[in-house]
A and B are shown apart, each in its own frame.
Chain A
Amino acid sequence: MIRVNGQAGGANAGESVSALLARLRVAADSRGVAVAVDGEVVPRSAWDSFILSETASVEVLGAMQGG
């Protein structure tokens, strides 16, 4: 089961990071968003080509007031 931001089932195995972000309404050119899969950064340039596996743990992060 894929996990997205700690929630199970937020994405489908075989889909790209870009497809997931589109469903989360994150624009492809949006500044201030970063993605990690299984503890590794997925650079913006790889969002289209990075395919999520069945056990992927995805973190979609953005700017928050802090510090």
Chain B
Amino acid sequence: MGVGSPDGADALTIAGRPMRSRLIVGTGGFPSLQVLADALAASGSELATVALRRIDPAAEGSLTDVLQQAGVSLLPNTAGCHTARDAVLTARLAREAFDTDWIKLEVIGDQDTLLPDAAELLLAAEELVADGFVVLPYTTDDPVLARRLEDIGCAAVMPLGSPIGSGMGIRNPYNIALVREAVAIPVVLDAGVGTASDAALAMELGCDGVMSASAIARAQDPVAMATAMRLAVQSGRLAVGAGRIPRRTYASPSTPDEGLAEFG
């Protein structure tokens, strides 16, 4: 089966690891661990992000246990880091805590927009790749920066559709398509997804996967939205493989004129 086949043959492979699901779920913002567990099951995702924060001895329940029971692998992130130094240290701590080389690298350059700091991002990515990490950088929708990240040795790029948590969808679809053309590594749309159609559009633009956090976690019904995202990612992928018709200005009849009756 080819592109878009839902039987698992069309896997998303990052750093040699195939995943049947092309949806990555962010665990932030869920009202409870139970809702997170139910949403993960509904999403079909095999990979979910976690952050590293000061432990709270009073906290109830274990996030890592929930993810383990869900059969989902952890993708630690460096959320909240503003410098390459902090991001690299956080990645090394995450490797120690979660026993994984994978890191979703975020280096934030602006507190209001949470846009990435490209210069610090490149520095951190270079150091982490050299240290043996599988680096998945959260980046702008800049195809040149994406290529630089690929050249450094990143395993994928995660361009934003719009600012984190904004739910504004994909503000510059042409750039996302250009990012897809610019690199050979997987492109996973990250940030900005607000609803299922945004995820489908990302896939139709050629993205290899979609990450969704707030759109699922903060939906009125997170489990239903997780299902919607799963189906949207599959739909968008199937549509790419199916090959859409070209856009045209004027109508093109779907019913032939040939054999049309003449009524005098």
Q: Which residues of A contact B (CB under 8 A)?
A: 5-6, 24-26, 31-36, 39-41, 43-44, 59-67
Contact = CB atoms under 8 A, between A and B. Distances in A.
Interface stretch (B96-104, B120-128, B226-234): B96-104
9 contacts: A5-B54, A31-B98, A34-B97, A41-B92, A59-B54, A63-B52, A66-B50, A66-B53, A66-B77
Contacts of B63: 32, 63-65
B52 A67 contact: no
B155 interface: no
Given A25-B57, A67-B28, A36 B89 contact: yes
Given A32-B62, A43-B96, 5 more contacts: A31-B64, A34-B96, A34-B97, A63-B50, A67-B49
Contacts of B55: 5, 24, 26, 33, 60-62
A63 B96 contact: no
Given A24-B55, A25-B57, A64 B50 contact: yes
Interface in B99-149: 99, 104, 106
Interface of B: 26-30, 36, 49-55, 57, 62-64, 74, 77, 79, 89, 92-94, 96-99, 104, 106, 213
A64 B96 contact: no
A41 B29 CA distance: 28
B54 A6 contact: yes
Contacts of A59: 54, 93
Contacts of B98: 31-32, 63
B106 A67 contact: yes
A67 B93 contact: no
Contacts of A32: 62-64, 97-98
A40 B96 CA distance: 12
Given A32-B64, A33-B55, A63 B97 contact: yes
Contacts of A39: 89
B161 to A, nearest CB: 15
A7 to B, nearest CB: 10
Contacts of A5: 54-55
Given A60-B54, A65-B63, A34 B77 contact: no
B94 A66 contact: no
A34 B76 CA distance: 12
Contacts of B79: 66-67
Given A5-B54, A34-B96, A59-B54, A66 B62 contact: no
